[in-house]
Structure 1
């Protein structure tokens, strides 16, 4: 049979998109599957799409596209069929009405099952789906989440459906109780999460993972407050939050205000997410409400025990409290911190719960979930032979507009696709999903043959030059090497780089990563290296720690931190420091020192460590982990200072009399593209 999913956009990232693709891919093995994406706002989807699935974009809103239809005359008119109280109502229009109607009225869209994936699209399904098709609405939120006005508006549409599917039994019961739908079957089928393509976490690290939209309902501010309690007792632990959303700036300010910028990192969106989950030892969710909890299942399938708020409705139907995770009250900062510390302080409990999580989460595999949907399709009479010739009764609709043609997305079968794993010893393994006879991996001037199983090994210590090296596949008789598309890149081994550096030996770090969809290797090679540690910015003063690798610190003598200004007026400032152990150092300096010597509106200073008066300075950087570019992910709070100039007091009085604010500068530390530590002194714009 033919199954059609109607979705807002398949080109973004989010739980509805992920679960739609998981179900569609499983069904595609036995049925014809299409995903109708109302909007196309970027060239390529962020998630890989199985080539067996046909993607049909209807309205092109790509900013750079010549066919951009944001200013289309019909797109500037309000929609007739999209519910007025739906959260995305302003994004829909008479044009979207026409395109959806035209697609399902066309000869090429003879779907046997049509599934709407959000309230407004459920309304579209009820109005426009082909005659005789089985109509299914999916509820990816909850009954309680929707405003009463939207629920009232949706009642008429829901009665036209054959089935309405929630993702939790609790929410299905709520719908049945509060909105009886005669003739519409209301039931729960959970979202599906496939088995990860990376090895599970061994829960031995010191990283806590969270993932999801940076939105208010996720209550990341509660998580950050709870983690402040955790890190006060266990300072070696860190928290990584993957995702994007409108709360990012607010969360960043909270992190800075609590002084957690060394320990809490907003990692941005990550796809695929599994290689990030397995870097963690614990997963955490602090949502105010969850219709299901995709991230919980993803983390559990990756072998992580989960701490989650016991919100309606998903978590309590996913987590067996005390067996594979811990449930805590919503918004209870102390309880969240206590649960995290319980798992942190009991490695055996972490390991045991992580193992149970893997086993228990198998019930959410796409196979069993797709089977429930197929059984529902059959019970509702979905089959090509059961298609009715009678037209479905729908409200009158405007004439259909042009329909975007089908477009299959994702890598074609002939593209070389590979997984890459960074091992703890510094070696890499690259495995082709489809082995190629005589294939070689080429990168950075090196050549590594693939064995009969399609695996090539890059030995630890291979002498790559420092820089970025595209990894390519070379085949016998081919004109030249071709890029390797990545499916999953497991960077966990890179997180252990500091522990494997041999005393007195040059520092080598090789991190695999995906760039433009293809495998790349980032190499750092330094005879002597100063790894930056915690950095504190308080009251205009900076305190930083560092550790020296590759050479002994040398006997005696006071270490110094050097600030070296770039540009036409180079200058060096030196600040004394203290030693901590054999290779550790600590320095404190005032931001007023570089600010007082400002030459240009944007001064740039590089930071160097001189371990002893007679020793050669060493560049300060942070490279011994898995993060290839730290600039936006590891920011430090700025120090804003009053600008000091000759005759400064007189100038300040003149500005005050003129009603203009004092001249100020911002001093900010950041990591360059090479992850070297850099300091900026920048003028603050004034009136």
Structure 2
């Protein structure tokens, strides 16, 4: 049996990568395992991978590599098959959609597993025909936004099984999103046996591991450890991991003056040598879907202090037996739990032994067997070793699974075998979304419009379609604008009639001057009213009267201002200027023309001689 895992990247460090590799290495001894990595941002993986596992990177985003594909024009177009509300939507593109589609179109995998919401949508759409499709949830139901959960509903309905890592989260999914044909269950992550000896708990070191992000609430851990260091200054806290909160955590360390007691170690792989150096493991997360680091610490023999968040820690730790659970966000409670284990060495050793025994249930062999039982229940492999396809359940064509409503019709067809099967041309195209345009396979004739806007096949009992001939004729169009009333200057159709050319008298002797117009100096005081030029002028007959025109007196253009800056107005009565304005500067008279420089007396040889007007010799 061939099993294919679709993961965001296998070349990084994270809980999803570790649990995928743990499960793949356990299954590779009995089955063919393939890990399809969407991105490849480095040449080698941070973990040691079994050479029997086949790694298939689809997109090279390593900027240092000569084969980097970030400048591909198709990569700059947004993805169409990836959910838009997914957190990593901007990293995906139409090129990645095409790569995933082409890979699984030529794949012969029996089981395809998606490891995050966007990749679950990929395997729901592009998994090969007849394969068992499984989605994994490594976060929690409440961690995702409502818009993403609603967008993922049709993709989850097309799965065979949806697996969470905690039973509490699986119960929430079953309550808030019941899926008729998809089985929702929980299978925990697997953690292999450490390659080093368990810790002897004789040191004075507290260890925390995980991504340096806000959800881990490491600032609360630093605040709690400040109270521990005040009573036990010989104890040290080490935090292993990387993330965007590193600078913020440094400021908190300097704030509480813990530069010598709190150390940021950075990423560590493998992590087991760091666990065995410590005596206590601690976690202050706001929410944990599973708590991979908690199981790793317990397998190395460390008692764990963890917040009682949803949902993993309370299913992993038995408070008072192999660890202590404290309220979320309470630094005082974390400090008290740490002081309890630090000051009571016997309790610490007893909890360490119980942690080793209780963490055996997360061994990769036990977890892999639960997955194999699930594959068999879903029909991935029958007794003869061939893939089994349940009729009606796995109807596929060209790598595209039928939507949920088509599977309902398939089950109805099994109950009524006399109904005709749908021809191949009525099945949805693999590259077309089933929500846009689909056709129901049980209605053989005609077309009708679905209430949601989809075009589907018409049945024999549907009403006949209305043809264009049955529609009533449309009334003729009327002119948009017509004049309010027609005058002699308008044509019968409403258009404006052009005015005839003016008929001027032939030139003759010079006529007498006309009377002055109204408003001129000559017209003032005269007893006669000057003639006015109007639109009723006989020289322009047939023109609609508008307003009276008066001939204006020609005025000279205004003088050009010498200064661009406007001056404040003078007082109307000649008083001093208004308050707030500077006094007006009077223009200085031009200096007298002299032969020497202005303001200086001429030289002696140019001065006039006494009694003469000429210069001195």
1:104 aligns with 2:111: no
Give the structure 2 partner of residue 94 of structure 1: 94
Deviations 1:160-179, CA, capped at 9 Å, x for gaps = 00000000000000000000
Give the C-alpha shift of residue 385 in structure 1. Answer: 1.7
Match for 1:202 among 200, 224, 228? 200
State the match for 1:386 in structure 2.
387
Q: Identify the residue that residue 498 of structure 2 maps to in structure 1.
A: none
Q: Paired residue for 2:124? A: 126
Q: Do residues 9 (structure 1) and 9 (structure 2) align?
A: yes
Q: Give the SS at the match of 1:186.
A: strand
Whether contact under 8 Å (1:321, 1:327) holds in the other structure is: yes
In the TM superposition, what is the alpha-carbon distance from 1:398 to its structure 2 partner? Answer: 6.0
Give the distance between the partners of 1:114 and 1:150, measured in 2 at CA. 22
- State the partner residue of 2:67: 67
Say whether the 8 Å CA contact 1:36–1:56 is kept in structure 2: yes
How far residue 251 of structure 1 moved from its aligned partner, in angstroms, is 0.6
Q: Deviations over 1:295-325 (max 9, x none)?
A: 0000000000000000000000000100000
* Residue of structure 2 equivalent to 1:309: 307
| Preserved contact between residue 37 and residue 57 of structure 2 (Cα < 8 Å) | yes
Give how far 1:393 is off.
3.1
Q: Give the deviation of 1:29 after TM superposition.
A: 1.1
Q: Distance in 1 between matches of 2:129 and 2:170?
A: 27
> What do the CA deviations read for 1:420-446 (whole angstroms, capped 9, x no partner)?
xxxxxxxxxxxxxxxxxxxxxxxxxxx
The 2-side partners of 1:192 and 1:249 are apart by 32
Supply the distance in 2 between the matched residues of 1:23 and 1:291 (Cα, whole angstroms): 18
Q: Which residue of 2 aligns with 1:36?
A: 36
**Deviation for aligned residue 1:390:** 4.4
2:273 aligns with 275
Instruction: Name the counterpart of 2:236.
Output: 238
Q: Which has the higher strand share?
A: 1
User: Structure 2 regions of 5+ residues with no counterpart?
Assistant: 390-394, 402-427, 433-617
Structure 1: distance between partners of 2:388 and 2:124 = 16
Cα distance in 2, alignment partners of residues 375 and 387 from structure 1 = 15
- Residue in 2 aligned with 1:621? none
Contact 2:164–2:187 (Cα < 8 Å) also in 1:
yes
Distance across 1 between alignment mates of 2:114 and 2:34: 12
Kept in 1, the 8 Å contact 2:117–2:137? The answer is yes
Distance 1:101 1:231 in 2: 56
User: What is residue 144 of structure 1 aligned with on the other side?
Assistant: 142
Structure 1 distance, partners of 2:84, 2:388, is 32
Deviations 1:465-522 (A, max 9, x none): xxxxxxxxxxxxxxxxxxxxxxxxxxxxxxxxxxxxxxxxxxxxxxxxxxxxxxxxxx
- The secondary structure found in structure 2 opposite 1:385 is coil
For 1:363, the equivalent position in structure 2 comes to 361
Q: Once the two structures are superposed, what CA deviation does each residue of 1:90-148 show, in whole Å capped at 9, x if it has no partner?
A: 00000110111111011xx2110000000000000000011010000000000000000
CA deviation vs aligned residue, 1:68-99 (integer Å, no higher than 9, x gap): 01111111010011000000000000011011
Partner SS for 2:87:
coil
Q: What corresponds to 1:335 in structure 2?
A: 333
SS across alignment from 2:140: coil
For the residues of structure 2 that align with 1:237 and 1:60, how far apart are their CA atoms?
45
Distance in 1 of aligned mates of 2:88 and 2:254: 33
What is the rounded CA distance, in whole Å, between the counterparts of 1:110 and 1:243 in structure 2? 38
User: What corresponds to 2:489 in structure 1?
Assistant: none
Write out aligned runs for 1:189-228 (5 A): 189-228=187-226
- Equivalent positions of 1:481-630 (< 5 A) are none
Matched pairs, number: 397
Q: Contact 1:98–1:398 (CA<8 Å) still a contact in 2?
A: no
CA distance in 2, matches of 1:46, 1:154: 31
- CA distance in 2 between counterparts of 1:93 and 1:228 reads 46
- In the other structure, the counterpart of 1:46 is 46
Counterpart for residue 154 of structure 2: 156
Which residue is 2:465 aligned to?
Answer: none
Q: In structure 1, what is the Cα distance between the partners aligned to 2:346 and 2:150?
A: 51
Deviations 1:380-439 (A, max 9, x none): 00026225594243575669xxxxxxxxxxxxxxxxxxxxxxxxxxxxxxxxxxxxxxxx
Q: Counterpart of 2:83?
A: 83
Find the residue that maps to 2:386 and give its secondary structure. Answer: helix
- 1:581-612 Cα deviation digits (max 9, x unpaired): xxxxxxxxxxxxxxxxxxxxxxxxxxxxxxxx
1:112·1:387 contact (CA, 8 Å) conserved in 2?
no
5+ long unaligned stretches in structure 1: 400-687
Report if the CA contact (8 A) 1:283-1:305 is conserved. Answer: yes
Q: Aligned partners of 2:135, 2:67: CA distance in 1, in Å?
A: 31
Cα gap change, 1:211 to 1:274, in 2 (>3 Å): same
Answer yes or no: is 1:180 the counterpart of 2:178. yes
Distance 1:224 1:168 in 2: 28
Q: Distance in 1 between matches of 2:316 and 2:282?
A: 14
1:181-231 Cα deviation digits (max 9, x unpaired): 110000000000001000000111000000000011011011111111110
8 Å Cα contact 1:133/1:387 also seen in 2: no
SS at match of 2:314: helix
Aligned to 2:581: none
What is the TM-score normalised by the length of structure 1? 0.57
- Does the CA contact (< 8 Å) of 2:400 and 2:430 recur in 1? no
Secondary structure (helix, strand or coil) at the match of 1:386 reads coil
Measured in 1, the distance between the counterparts of 2:227 and 2:108 equals: 57
What do residues 316-355 of structure 1 show as CA deviations (whole Å, max 9, x unaligned)? Answer: 0000100000000000100000000000001111111011
Tell me, yes or no, if the aligned pair for 1:244 and 1:269 is still in contact at 8 Å.
yes
Determine the C-alpha separation between the residues in 2 that align with 1:78 and 1:200. Answer: 49
Query: C-alpha deviations, 1:357-395, integer Å up to 9, x for none?
Result: 001000000000000000000000002622559424357
- TM-score (norm: length of structure 2): 0.63
Q: Distance in 2 between matches of 1:139 and 1:381?
A: 22
